[in-house]
Structure formats: structure tokens, C-alpha cells
Amino acid sequence: MLSRRDFLKLSGLALGAAWLPPLPPDEGPRRPALLGRTIYLNYIYDRPSFNGRQVGLIPSESVFSIYNTIQSTDNYYNRTWYEVQRGYVHSASVQPVRWQLQTPRTELPPDGFLGEVTVPFTLAKAGPGANYNTAYRFYYSTTHWITDVTVNEDDGQVWYQAFDDRFHEYHWVRADHIRRVPASELAPIAPEARDKRIEVDLDTQTFRCLENGQVVQETLCSTGPYLRTENGRRLFGTPTGAWLINRKRPSRHMAGDDLAADDFFDLPGVPWVSYFHWWGVSIHGTYWHNDYGRPRSHGCVNLPSDVAKWVYRWTVPAGNVAERETNGDGTPVIVIVA
């Protein structure tokens, strides 16, 4: 017998399928450029514009093929759209992902290793087997400390034990969904450059890295929103001023302190975290939205995970895969607002 939860899930999928129009007659096999995972329900439009006609929808937590990335001509802060099988979806609530199975390891280093999820998501279980309760979904590009390995006696599946660095618990994930991050991937970028700094513009939601005054990395970001004005000074969730990168973690389980709060968040495996403020404000990778260019955080600087990894490598102090935390004052971070 289906549970109420399973019934609602299947009903939602059926409803989503009903919204999808039939494939056009000339639709033939195409090679996708990558995959997408819908973070929330996403509408399909007949052209890459919110002024287009809605022709279908993709339910949340669906994985689908992306054939092209397109910049719309709309006057909108986020103009990135993805071409899908039946039209176009806006990028804001789509995480670009891949499906890359790994060769499991049955022997681990004494201290374990840093692992990265290489599939759209994997289920983190209470024990090493598919029949155990699910504690979390670990999403693509998240990073986790792998501390043990075992083989399920029933089906021969290899499972890794992942340590939760916030709640000090352990979860089990399929080993073929986790890639070991080698030390070479975190080799410092431009270590010889002495004049490095980061600039974050809260008005334009722009993130820049500079060497000797020259921009070497620039992208849109998402910061903490405007909160209030005190004594003529505008206060934001992201603290303005001049700071220093002072601590790094290649993986961090971030969560709100009040489980009953309306805006409580629970985000295991946040990758490539570079802290610059004593509140715990940091620059880090993001997998729960893809909507850079407007404030969306509680104060941290949200970046695409690949960019956050680049920043992690480029800034000082240098982090590595052997240490769960690196400390020391380093690269300046200047947070400004007009």
C-alpha cells in the first residue's frame, strides 16, 4: 500500500507529466551538453524569456538534459536560460549537474579522504545499505569527509561512511557516487602574486578578484540583503568594510541555530568555504540556488561551486585536502556599498 507521502509524490509527477506537451515531430536524438536538477518546480517556456508562453513544467528534484545555455535579451539581472527538450527553463532554480559514476575503493587512507558527489544527488543513509532510513540528500558538487568503507553482504554494493562535521554524526553513501579529491586539485593558484584582494559590491552583487590591480576573476554573486538603516548608515546581512580571509574549510555542514525558525536552513557538505568575518561569514560554493545577481544569503557570499573552489585555491592562507580547517590571516576582502 502506498503511503500518503508516496501517493502525493506520484500524483505530483503525474501532474507534471500532464503539463508537458508532446515532443515536436522533428524532435530527434540530441547529445545533451550537461544535465540539470530542478531545485524547485520550474516552468518551461516556448522561448528564453519570461515574456514567452508557458508550455509545461518540470517538478522539483527532477533531472533532465540541457542542450544549450542561452543569454536572453530581457532586462533582468539573471539572463541565463537552458534549452531543454520541450523549450527553455530559467536557470535560477536549476543546478547544472553531471552523472559520473566512480570506481569504489575498498581501502582508505588512515585518516580517510575528502570526497565530492559526482551524481545529481545521492541518498545519505543511516547505515550501509539501501534499506536504511535516509537522513539527507547529498547533492552534486558537495564535499564530505569519508572516514570508513564497507561492502554490503546482500548485494555487494560498496558504501562510504561520511562524517557530519556539525552534528558529529555519520551517514553512509554509495561509494560509486563519491570521487576522492586529490591534493593536486587544491594546488595554490598564482602563489607568487603578492598583491591580491577581493572586492564584493553589494549594490551590483559583483564579486571580483584582483592581482596588482588587475581583475583576474569576476562574476555575479549572492550576498546578504539590505536589513535597515541606523544613524544614516545602511546595514546589510553581509558586513561592509575591510576584512581578511582568516579560516578555510573544504567542507562544512551549515545550518540555522533554531530548528523552529521560519528561515531555518540545513545544508550539508557546503564546499570550498573561505571565512572572512568573526560572525562566520564566508565565501563558499552553492547548490541550493543558481540565481546570482541578487541577495539570497543569510550574510555569506554565494558563488557557483567551481568559482568558490578557484577562490579557495587562489586566496591565502592555502588550504589542502589533508586538513579539515586552515587558519591564519591572509587575502584582503573589501565589501562595499555605494
Residues 143, 202 within the same domain:
no
Residues 83, 134 within the same domain:
no
Residue 29 pLDDT: 60
Q: Name the E strands within 72-165.
A: 80-84, 87-90, 94-97, 113-117, 121-125, 134-139, 143-151, 158-164
Q: Residue 176 phi/psi, 5° resolution?
A: -75, 0
| pLDDT tens column, 38-83 | 999 999 999 999 999 999 999 999 999 999 999 999 999 999 999 9
| pLDDT tens column, 205-235 | 999 999 999 999 999 999 999 888 888 888 8
Using DSSP's 3-state secondary structure scheme, residue 271 falls into strand
Cβ 108 vs Cβ 148: under 8 Å:
yes
Residue 71 pLDDT: 96
Residues 208, 329 within the same domain:
yes
* Domain-embedded: residue 318: yes
Residues 167, 190 within the same domain:
no
Select from 160, 181, 202 the last residue of a domain. Answer: 181
Which of the four pLDDT bands, split at 50, 70 and 90, describes residue 257? low
Overall number of domains in the chain: 3
Task: Enumerate residues 6+ apart whose C-beta is below 8 A from 131.
Answer: none
Maximal C-alpha separation, the chain? 66
Cβ 80 vs Cβ 71: under 8 Å:
yes
* Domain-embedded: residue 107: no
* Domain-embedded: residue 103: no
Select from 144, 163, 181 the last residue of a domain. Answer: 181
Residues 195, 324 within the same domain:
yes
* Domain-embedded: residue 5: no
Which of the four pLDDT bands, split at 50, 70 and 90, describes residue 265? confident
Distance CA 134, CA 172 (A): 9
Instruction: Specify the CATH number for the domain of residue 332.
Output: 2.40.440.10
Select from 122, 150, 181 the last residue of a domain. Answer: 181
Indicate the burial class of 242 (C-beta count within 10 angstroms; 0-12, 13-18, 19 or more): exposed
Residues 127, 265 within the same domain:
no
Residues 224, 310 within the same domain:
yes
* Domain-embedded: residue 39: yes
Question: Is the model's pLDDT at 19 over the cut of 80?
Answer: no
Q: Average pLDDT over the chain, rounded to whole? A: 90
Residues 147, 195 within the same domain:
no
Residues 72, 137 within the same domain:
no
Instruction: Specify the CATH number for the domain of residue 117.
Output: 2.30.30.40
Nearest CA to 124 out of 267, 256, 286 is that of 267
* Domain-embedded: residue 7: no
Residues 192, 332 within the same domain:
yes
Range of the domain at 140: 113-181
Residues 127, 174 within the same domain:
yes
* Domain-embedded: residue 242: yes
Using DSSP's 3-state secondary structure scheme, residue 128 falls into coil
Residues 194, 232 within the same domain:
yes
* Domain-embedded: residue 102: no
Residue 160 pLDDT: 98
DSSP string of 157-220, one letter each residue: -EEEEEEETTTTEEEEEEGGGEEE--GGGGPPSSTT---EEEEEETTTTEEEEEETTEEEEEEE
Mean pLDDT of 104-111: 94
Q: What is the pTM of this model?
A: 0.89
